């Protein structure tokens, strides 16, 4: 388990380094900040929180289950109101899915790497709207599928995110709330596609 954790940390660091480099280079080139108004402003931090997820097409589909997410983020504000935010998130969700036994359902865990790229629009200094696509890569192990008596397979896919942040962009932590939908999984136990959607709540801690 320790080796698996270290492996995830290495992957996270590598992917985030690739993600942040273009942002940092561009910010270094432009320079400036909100006060000086010379150009875009670069921010770097970590974020984490809880999820409430459910799978569609099940008799218990309306029952949402708790999960969590954590990872780094980088944002580049082109103006005081408009910018982009990129994230590398590791998430673990739980949902009910049909298991093929005469309509019975099983509770399974789904682990994934998520890569949102969000357009940010600040209505005010303390309130920011966000929307954009997200690439998801499922990392649920074969052993986990066997333990859950499931055969959940996933394609590299694009889903969608919409939400908001509360708190100042320039100082202190911020809280966020989001909705993510259109995560598609192939449930081979019943030979159909399952869509997982989730609410996300959490806190962002700026480091730079």
Q: What is the CA radius of gyration of the chain?
A: 19
What is the secondary structure of 29-69 as a DSSP string? Answer: HH---TTTTSS-EEEEEEEEEEEEEEESSSTTTT--EEEEE
pTM for this structure?
A: 0.75
Domains of the chain, start order: 2-206 (2.40.160.20)
Which residue(s) pair with 69 in the sheet? 49, 91
Q: What is the spatial distance between Cα 149 and Cα 168, in angstroms, rounded to a whole number?
A: 46
3-state DSSP assignment of residue 81: coil
Q: What is the pLDDT of residues 92-107, one digit of tens each?
A: 988 887 766 766 777 7
What are the structure tokens assigned to 8, written together? 């995830």
pLDDT in tens, the chain (208 residues): 445 545 555 555 555 555 555 545 444 444 445 445 456 888 899 999 999 998 876 665 568 999 999 999 999 999 889 999 999 999 998 888 776 676 677 777 888 899 999 999 999 889 999 999 999 988 765 545 554 555 555 556 899 999 999 998 666 789 999 999 988 876 656 556 778 899 999 999 999 8
């Amino acid at each position: 388990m320790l080796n698996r954790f270290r492996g995830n940390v290495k992957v996270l660091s590598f992917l985030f380094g690739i993600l942040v480099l273009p942002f940092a280079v561009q910010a270094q080139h432009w320079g400036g900040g909100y006060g000086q108004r010379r150009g875009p402003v670069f921010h770097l931090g970590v974020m984490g929180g809880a999820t409430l997820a459910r799978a569609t097409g099940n008799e218990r589909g309306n029952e949402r289950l708790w999960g969590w997410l954590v990872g780094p983020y980088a944002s580049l504000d082109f103006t005081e109101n408009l910018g982009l935010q990129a994230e590398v998130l590791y998430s673990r969700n739980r949902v009910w899915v049909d298991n093929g036994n005469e309509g019975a359902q099983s509770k399974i865990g789904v682990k994934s790497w998520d890569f949102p790229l969000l357009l940010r629009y600040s209505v005010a200094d303390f309130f920011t709207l966000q929307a954009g696509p997200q690439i998801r890569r499922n990392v649920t192990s074969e052993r986990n599928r066997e333990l859950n008596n499931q055969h959940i397979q996933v394609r590299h896919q694009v889903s969608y995110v919409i939400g908001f942040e509360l708190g100042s962009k320039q100082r202190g932590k911020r809280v966020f709330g989001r909705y993510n939908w259109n995560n598609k999984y192939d449930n081979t136990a019943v030979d159909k596609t399952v869509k997982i959607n989730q609410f996300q709540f959490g806190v962002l801690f700026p480091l730079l």
